[in-house]
Amino acid sequence: MSHAPVLLAEAMDALALKDGGVYVDATFGGGGYSREMLARADAHVIAFDRDPDAIARGAELSASAKGKFTLHQGRFGDLSTEDKVDGVVFDLGVSSFQLDEAERGFSFQADADLDMRMEKEGLSAADAVNRLSEGALADLIYQYGEDDDSRRIARAIVQARAAAPITRTLALAKIVEDAVGGRKGARTHPATKTFQALRMLVNDELGELARGLSAAERALKPGGRLVAVSFHSLEDRMVKQFLAARADALGRGSRFMPDLPPNDPSRRAPSFALDRKRATVSSDAETAANPRARSASLRWATRTDAPAWDELEPPALAPRAEAEWARLS
């Protein structure tokens, strides 16, 4: 079992690694990014992962790269460094280790408890499926999963759980498949988006991303690089808007509002410079070799010397689901 890092060379180029630099790998996973950073420059890498299994996998690298590499268990939303750093890279989502270990419950390819907790603690996907109201589930699957069949799926979940709690991955996948009328020749399984939505809720992935981007903004030195690889449109949009707002801070937020005068106090100095507005995506060769690369999108920007902006607010996309979930937590 292994994890093939996606957009590895592109992420390393975007970091502009240099000898003597200090870099944060916010998502250690299988360590593919950290290893490449250490191979490309005589640098120090500080890595994080919220998953205890990823931390255990990193023990070997911690021993072999002693003095050049430190690994911490924790969420990147809580990231803070003693000194400012030269680069922060996020490779978002789940690793192949998490997907392939059936008992983690992230995948509908194998039967396991409906878990999906990256940290292995707290409320699980089974709690969401069995305890959220039908309306909250529908909103969640529509907004986080971007699935137009959300109402039908939510109704089927609520009907099924009235007979017995839904506790297994394959049981949920079957409920979703039946609710939407089978696979209809689709390339992806009909439960893909429901599983994605549940995973994002259970791990508060959008909240983490908002806090992580702001934490990186505070941690970076002027000239330091923020690099983010995302795997679905909600994350990519959040990264894109975060960088665009902070790079083009001229008060031209809306076409209905006049430009702010140069000395307006609400005008903010740009905290990032965007050298490239478009996302970098995987090559055809990478996509052919690694299906995970299909939806990958990389964005990066360079930190300026302006102060960090206020903490980014995560979007309240499915407020009913988020509020019910917060009450359960």
Ligand X SMILES: C[S@@+](CC[C@H](N)C(=O)[O-])C[C@H]1O[C@@H](n2cnc3c(N)ncnc32)[C@H](O)[C@@H]1O
Of 50 and 193, CB closest to ligand X: 50
CB of 259 to ligand X, least distance (A): 37
Q: Check: CB of residue 157 under 8 Å from CB of residue 129.
A: yes
How many positions of this chain bind ligand X (CB under 6 A)? 22
Q: Which stretch binds ligand X (CB under 6 A): 22-30, 39-47, 168-176, 258-266?
A: 22-30
Residues in CB range of 272: below 8 A, 6 or more apart: 217, 226, 243, 246, 247, 301, 302, 303, 304
Of 93 and 105, CB closest to ligand X: 93
Residues 258-317 close enough to bind ligand X by CB under 6 A: none
Q: Check: CB of residue 242 under 8 Å from CB of residue 315.
A: no
65: alpha, beta or left, given left = phi > 0 and alpha = psi -120 to 50?
Answer: alpha
Q: Check: CB of residue 168 under 8 Å from CB of residue 115.
A: no
Q: Where are the alpha helices (DSSP H) in 104-149?
A: 125-131, 134-143
> Any bridge partners for residue 300, and if so which?
227
CB of 208 to ligand X, least distance (A): 4
What is the DSSP code (8-state) at residue 271? S
Q: Does 199 bind ligand X (CB under 6 A)?
A: no
Of 180 and 198, CB closest to ligand X: 198
Position among 23, 33, 69, 272 found at the interface with ligand X (CB under 6 A): 33
Of 51 and 177, CB closest to ligand X: 51
Q: Does 117 bind ligand X (CB under 6 A)?
A: no
Position among 55, 69, 95, 175 found at the interface with ligand X (CB under 6 A): 95
Query: Between 41 and 80, how does the x/- string for binding to ligand X read (CB under 6 A)?
Result: -------xxxx--x--------------------xxx---
CB of 186 to ligand X, least distance (A): 24
Q: Does 235 bind ligand X (CB under 6 A)?
A: no
Of 177 and 208, CB closest to ligand X: 208
Rounded Cα–Cα distance for residues 86 and 226 (Å): 9
Q: Does 21 bind ligand X (CB under 6 A)?
A: no
Position among 10, 86, 91, 322 found at the interface with ligand X (CB under 6 A): 91
Rounded Cα–Cα distance for residues 143 and 316 (Å): 10
* Helix (H), strand (E) at residue 152: helix 150-163
What is the DSSP code (8-state) at residue 184? T
Position among 208, 236, 286, 322 found at the interface with ligand X (CB under 6 A): 208
93: alpha, beta or left, given left = phi > 0 and alpha = psi -120 to 50?
Answer: left
Rounded Cα–Cα distance for residues 57 and 68 (Å): 17
Q: Does 144 bind ligand X (CB under 6 A)?
A: no
Rounded Cα–Cα distance for residues 210 and 46 (Å): 20
Position among 118, 126, 137, 191 found at the interface with ligand X (CB under 6 A): 118
Indicate the burial class of 28 (C-beta count within 10 angstroms; 0-12, 13-18, 19 or more): buried
CB of 327 to ligand X, least distance (A): 22
Of 75 and 225, CB closest to ligand X: 75
**Which residues would be at the binding site for ligand X (CB under 6 A)?**
3, 5, 27, 29-33, 48-51, 54, 75-77, 91, 93-95, 118, 208
